[in-house]
Structure 1
Amino acid sequence: MELKKYKLGDIAEIIVSSIDKKSKEGEEPIKLCNFVNVYHNWAISTDMVQGFMNATTSEKNIERFSLKKGYVAFTKDSETRDDIGIPTYIADSLENTVLGYHCALVKPNEKILSGKYLNAFLHSNYIKKYFELNATGSGMRYTLSMDTLNNIPVLIPSLKIQKRIGGIFSDIDCKISLNRAINHNLPTLDRSLKAVEVRHAA
């Protein structure tokens, strides 16, 4: 499999959000996909939006930072090196939903780069090491500079293979999410079964 090497800034637009969780008069109401939402999810989809924080922002910010299918978001600033550069794939175009503070949004050139593949690639140890070596700051906060973001080395095969790889990782994540949901609901199921047993025993 032939791989081509690019700098991410050459095959995608990268923008850093400054939208905070405060609500201000005169601004538009929005749902805010924040650091925690990005950090804890392989992908962001429509069914998650209701759980997002309510905030406001300008029409310009809504235009720039709206979450569209195929984009990738990742954490840019944090108290520890291990928590920066954590990506998530935007699986659906989310109405009136924007990316929040301490995160960066990547808009891939879809003729060259698949967002699903990029998400999987940014989870690799190869890129984790790159972020670790290039993070700036010490003690209280670490960050990734725009220069570091634009120079992220991306190794990509053909678009066809990218989509196949991205699809495989997405399928795996769906199975993990399903298992997590089942495990989360097991205590409730167990209590319900015990209640039924008690009623039958009475």
Structure 2
Amino acid sequence: MVPEGWKQSEVGDHVDLLSGFPFKSSDYSDDSDDIRLLRGDNIGQGQLRWRDAKRWDKDQYEQLAKYHLNLGDFVIAMDRTWVTGGLKVAEVKDHDLPSLLLQRVSRLRAHPTLDQRLLRFFINGYRFEQYVKSVQTETAVPHISAKQIKEFPIPIPPLPEQRKIADILSTWDAAIEKTEALLATAKAQKRALMQSLLTGKRRFPEFEGQPWKEVRLGDVGLVSSAGVDKKTEDNQPEVRLLNFLDVFRREFIFDAELNHVVTAPSAKLEQCNVKRGDVFFTPSSETRDEIAIPAVAAEDMEGVCYSYHVVRFRLSEPWDMNFRAYVFQTDDFRRQAYKLGDGSGQRYVISQGNFRNMTVRVPSIPEQAQIGAILKAASGEIGGFEKQLTKLRTEKKALMQQLLTGKRRVVVDA
């Protein structure tokens, strides 16, 4: 039942929906000054990605006015519309223009009966995501049709109430965008600090003139893999598993965060245990950029074993705990990992031998401690912004559920 004064409708009654033009790939341009073509591959979750964009002769741009994209248009990939993480739906921004709409992408513009900003919230909302998941075909290439988009049911309030709802939700969007900008700045500042402090380009006065040493990982610690698999056997003791994502998503790993229970042979309990200060790496990934990502065990972890999907590096030198978390994040270390990754495009792997041969430059323990403390503080600032951003997004999502269904009504000025 729709609220009093609202009407049950469908998106197609209130938008101009256009599917793209079938540009021939054989006629694509190699000139970077030509017009970008918006394909489904260019649409991410909430933004357009123009890496490896295909282009069309700019001299033909005016002839294709029907397929011009405008500021504020919404675009939806018709193939694989729903992917892990969300929908391939985005709003066209200034920096996305000029561009042309390619087939298998739909463009939505609101009619005067629907506030364009409210369309944004309908399309980016939970209900539309669930709708797409329910109607998307389960073929080799899952897809939806323009007709299915048009048939998405929406309750429509009167225009004054639409504008008020859009004003409220836009305020939340502004707060989210501001926090995203602060987060991006904090990450850039931390990255700059890392590249200056961890390379010795920037020194603390009390350490000026003191030499750094370059060390090979195999000479200052033990690199080991062959961890525990994810199986459960009745005759084996239970253990908690430190997995790939536990490393990939963190700088420091804490015991309370690990809750994946499996079993392991008794011999593995000691062989694959986790001690405070152990550094873990992701030895493989689908891209070269995601191999050798580090994380440090922040404490001894009783009853925890590391997975066969990660590599453990147990230092024989007393490096500062915070320093351990950041020294393997430098551009130089990332370049080494990129070069040493063996693979063919589907999977890249760094062997134990290559891990042992990777090198880092380290200062004295007191200088390590100062560097580590500064970078840990920078990470703390980033973590604060990330928590704030999560809170804002969660609150906005709940508010959208109430406002866009009329469960919570707004007061419209007379």
Q: TM-score, normalised by structure 1?
A: 0.85
Instruction: Return the offset for 1:110.
Output: 3.2
User: Could you tell me which amino acid in structure 1 is paired with residue 277 of structure 2?
Assistant: G
Distance 1:17 1:174 in 2: 33
Instruction: Return the offset for 1:75.
Output: 0.2
% identical equivalent positions: 26
Q: Is the 8 A contact 2:227 2:305 kept in 1?
A: no
Cα 1:45–1:171, aligned 2, differ >3 Å: closer, same or farther? Answer: farther
- CA deviation digits over 1:46-93, x for unaligned, max 9? 3312xx322111222221222211111010012221111000111121
Instruction: Return the offset for 1:19.
Output: 1.5
Out of 311, 314, 338, the position equivalent to 1:107 is: 314
Runs ≥4 residues deviating over 4 A: 187-192
Distance 1:94 1:174 in 2: 23
Instruction: Return the offset for 1:126.
Output: 0.3
User: Could you tell me which amino acid in structure 2 is paired with residue 43 of structure 1?
Assistant: F
- CA deviation digits over 1:157-184, x for unaligned, max 9? 0011112222222222233223222321
Q: Is the 8 A contact 1:77 1:84 kept in 2?
A: yes
- CA deviation digits over 1:135-169, x for unaligned, max 9? 11213221111221111112110011112222222
Q: Match for residue 32 of structure 1?
A: 241
Q: Match for residue 13 of structure 1?
A: 222
Out of 126, 129, 133, the position equivalent to 2:335 is: 129
Cα 1:185–1:149, aligned 2, differ >3 Å: closer, same or farther? Answer: same
Q: Is the 8 A contact 1:12 1:107 kept in 2?
A: yes
Distance 2:337 2:393 in 1: 39
Distance 2:240 2:352 in 1: 25
Query: Pairwise mapping of residues 154-193 of structure 1 onto structure 2 (< 5 A)?
Result: 154-189=360-395, 191=398
Q: Is the 8 A contact 1:134 1:144 kept in 2?
A: yes
Out of 73, 83, 87, the position equivalent to 2:290 is: 83
Out of 21, 28, 41, the position equivalent to 2:250 is: 41
Q: Is there any run of 5+ residues in structure 1 with no aligned partner, and where?
A: none
Instruction: Return the offset for 1:28.
Output: 1.5
Count residues with an aligned counterpart: 194
User: Could you tell me which amino acid in structure 2 is paired with residue 120 of structure 1?
Assistant: Y
User: Could you tell me which amino acid in structure 2 is paired with residue 7 of structure 1?
Assistant: R
Question: Which is further off, 10-19 or 180-189?
Answer: 180-189
Distance 1:2 1:185 in 2: 45
Q: Match for residue 146 of structure 2?
A: none
Q: Match for residue 98 of structure 1?
A: 305
Cα 1:60–1:125, aligned 2, differ >3 Å: closer, same or farther? Answer: same
Instruction: Return the offset for 1:187.
Output: 4.3
> The residue matched to 2:343 in structure 1 has which SS?
coil
Instruction: Return the offset for 1:7.
Output: 0.7
- CA deviation digits over 1:84-142, x for unaligned, max 9? 1000111121221121122111111234x334323211111100000111111213221
Larger RCO, structures 1/2 (Cα 8 Å, 6+ apart): 1
User: Could you tell me which amino acid in structure 2 is paired with residue 116 of structure 1?
Assistant: N
